[in-house]
């Protein structure tokens, strides 16, 4: 299985949208260099307020460009990085990956998938109705979060648009993604 990086984004401030960059540098154990969520311990403001000693399982946010396509068809105007993602992908079912899957981004960087992004009300502040549009229900009525996945950096390196993504699945049994 493989896919493609279509955009990379970062921002040093804790704001929803991130700026598109020519490249980003992933740092092992820390995340995206210069990004607000860079660090060994949790950087998400509400989570850090509860317990700042938690490990940072949200070092890198990956979002599939196919969600942008779906949202645009629903009337939303979105560009890569605007939903807070660091890496926008195409051609990979990110939400279908199991916990522990490893994504090699470009020549060297490796991100291990830790879980789902839990979309928050900041999306509605960006565009009204966007939060609801990133949530769905499956056939059994279970909540489906569509706002991408989170991961930790195992191996650092530069990542840029156009880089190939290779996927390595963990040894079965696979654990489905849960919010982190």
Q: Where are the domains of the chain?
A: 2-168
Inform me whether the pLDDT recorded for 1 exceeds 80. Answer: no
Instruction: Choose among 25, 155, 166, 8: nearest CA to 101.
Output: 166
- Whole-angstrom Cα distance, residue 66 to residue 162? 16
Asked if 157 contacts 166 with a C-beta cutoff of 8 angstroms, the reply is no
Domain 2-168 part of CATH 3.40.50.150: no
How much is the mean pLDDT over the chain?
Answer: 96
Position 2 scores a pLDDT of 86
* Segment 43-70, tens digit of pLDDT: 988 888 899 899 999 999 999 999 999 9
- Whole-angstrom Cα distance, residue 123 to residue 84? 9
Position 131 scores a pLDDT of 97
Residues sharing a CB contact under 8 Å with residue 71, sequence separation 6 or more, in sequence order: 78, 130, 133, 134
Query: If you average pLDDT over residues 21-43, what whole number do you get?
Result: 97
Residue 95 DSSP symbol: G
Which pTM was predicted? Answer: 0.96
């Amino acid at each position: 299985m493989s896919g493609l990086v279509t955009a990379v984004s970062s921002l040093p401030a804790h704001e929803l949208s991130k700026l598109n960059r020519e490249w980003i540098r992933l740092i092992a154990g820390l995340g995206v260099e210069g990004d607000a969520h860079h660090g060994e311990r949790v950087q998400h403001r509400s989570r850090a307020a509860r317990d700042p000693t938690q490990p940072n399982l949200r070092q890198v946010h990956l979002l599939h460009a196919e969600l942008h396509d779906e949202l645009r068809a629903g009337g939303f105007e979105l560009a890569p990085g605007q939903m807070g993602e660091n890496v926008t992908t195409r051609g990979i079912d990110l939400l279908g990956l199991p916990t522990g899957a490893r994504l090699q981004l470009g020549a060297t960087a490796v991100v291990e998938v830790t879980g789902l992004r839990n979309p928050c009300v900041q999306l509605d502040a960006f565009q009204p109705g966007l939060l609801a549009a990133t949530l769905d229900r499956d056939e059994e009525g279970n909540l489906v979060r569509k706002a991408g996945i989170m991961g930790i950096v195992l191996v650092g390196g530069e990542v840029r648009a156009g880089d190939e993504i290779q996927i390595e699945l963990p040894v079965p049994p696979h654990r489905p993604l849960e919010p982190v």
